[in-house]
Amino acid sequence: MEPRPSISVVVPVFNGARTLRELLAGLREAQGAMDARFEVLLVDDGSTDESWCTILELRAQHGDLVRGFRLARNFGQQAATYCGLLEARGDWVVTLDDDLQPHPREIPKLWEHAQSRHCDVVYGVYARRHHGLVHRLGTRLFRMLLRRVAPSFPDGSSFRLIRSEVLRSLPRHAGPWILVDPVLAWQTSAITSVVVDHGSNGGGRSRYPLHALFSIAGTVLISYSRLPLRLMTALGFLSAAASFGLGLYYLFRKVTVGAEIGFSALIVTTTFSSGVVLLSLGILGEYISRIHTMGSGEPAFTIKAVV
Run of H or E including 304: strand 303-306
- Looking at every residue in the chain, the average pLDDT score rounds to 81
**Total Cβ atoms within 10 A of residue 119:** 17
- Residues 274-288 have pLDDT tens digits of 777 877 888 888 888
- Residues 23-67 have pLDDT tens digits of 999 999 999 999 899 999 999 999 999 999 999 999 999 998 999
Task: For residue 95, name the pLDDT band (cuts at 50, 70, 90).
Answer: very high
Those residues whose C-beta lies under 8 Å from the C-beta of residue 268, and which sit 6 or more positions away, are: none
Give the CATH fold of the 7-225+300-306 domain: Spore Coat Polysaccharide Biosynthesis Protein SpsA; Chain A (3.90.550)
| pLDDT score at 300 | 85
The radius of gyration of the chain's CA atoms, rounded to the nearest angstrom, is: 25
Q: Which long-range contacts (CB under 8 A, 24 or more apart) does 284-293 make?
A: 284/232, 286/222, 286/228, 287/222, 287/228, 287/229, 290/175, 290/177, 290/222, 290/223, 293/175, 293/176
Domain ranges of the chain: 7-225+300-306, 227-295
Considering only residues 100 and 207, tell me which one the structure prediction assigns the higher pLDDT: 100
Considering only residues 210 and 21, tell me which one the structure prediction assigns the higher pLDDT: 21
- Residues 239-262 have pLDDT tens digits of 777 777 777 777 777 777 765 656
Q: How far apart are CA 88 and CA 161, in angstroms?
A: 12
The number of CA neighbours under 13 Å toward the Cβ of 194 is: 20
Residue 202 has pLDDT above 50, yes or no: no
